[in-house]
Amino acid sequence: MSESDAPEPDAPADSEEAASNAQLFGVWDVTEIEYTDPSTERYINVTPIAHTMGRHASKQFKKSEISIVERLINRLMQSEDNTGDKQKTMKITKDAFEIVHDRTDENPVQILVRAVENAAPREETVRLKYGGISVPQAVDVAPQRRVDQALMFIAEGTKSASYKSKTSAAEALAQQLVAAADYDVQSYAINQKEESERVAEAAR
C-alpha cells in the first residue's frame, strides 16, 4: 500500500468539546448547570477547570471568564492562613464539595451557583457629598459586582465559622454553601445580603 493510500490518522478532538466532557476535580459534571437569575448568569462561568495558572491575570475586567469555582478558591485564599496557598485552598473546596454532595445529594457546583445567586445583593449604598454634607444614597448593584459580593460573603462566613473553632474550613464552607443555596437567613452570606439591601432601602 502506497503512502498516499494510507488511512489518515484520526483528527484530534476539539479542545472545547473535550473540556465540556471533562469533570471538575474529576468528579462533578458541569454541563447541565441551571441558572435562575438572568442578570448574573453571564457572570457566573462554570468550567471543569479549577486552576487556570493565572491565565486571566493580565486581562483587566476578564475575571468573569474564570470559573466561578476558581473565583471562590481565590477568595478563600484572601485570609491569613490560606494566603498564596492555592493547593491547600483547592483541597478545602474539593472536600467541601464532597460534604455538600453527601448532605444534599445534588451536584455541589449547582449548589454553589444557587448560593451565589441567592447571596448577591441587588442594592447597596454610596455616599454623596452635597455642600460638604455626606448623604447616603441607594444604588443598584452591577451584576458583576453582585457576584463579587456574594463570593466575598461566602468566604467571610467560612472564615468566621472556622477561625479558632473545631469546625474545619471544608465543613464551614459546606455549611455556608448549603445554607445560602437554601436562602437561610441565619447564614452569614444571606444575612449580609439582607443587611445591605435593608440599609439601601432606608436610604432611598
Tens digits of pLDDT across the chain (204 residues): 454 455 444 444 454 444 445 788 888 899 889 999 999 999 999 988 877 776 665 566 677 888 899 999 989 988 767 677 788 899 999 999 999 999 999 999 999 999 999 999 999 988 888 878 888 888 999 999 999 999 999 999 999 998 888 889 999 999 999 999 999 999 999 999 999 999 998 887
What are the boundaries of each domain within the chain? 24-202
Per-residue model confidence (pLDDT) at position 58: 54
Residue 154 and residue 189: Cα distance in Å, rounded? 5
Confidence (pLDDT) at 13? 45
Distances, alpha carbon 62 to alpha carbons 11, 58, 152, in Å: 32, 9, 18
**Alpha helices (H) in the chain, listed in sequence order:** 15-21, 38-41, 68-76, 86-104, 108-119, 143-162, 169-181, 188-202
Angle subtended by helix axes 143-162 and 188-202, to nearest 10: 130
Give this prediction's pTM: 0.82
Nearest-Å Rg of the Cα atoms of the chain is 21
C-alpha separations of 162 from 35, 142, 175 in Å: 29, 30, 11
Q: Does domain 24-202 have CATH number 1.10.455.10?
A: yes
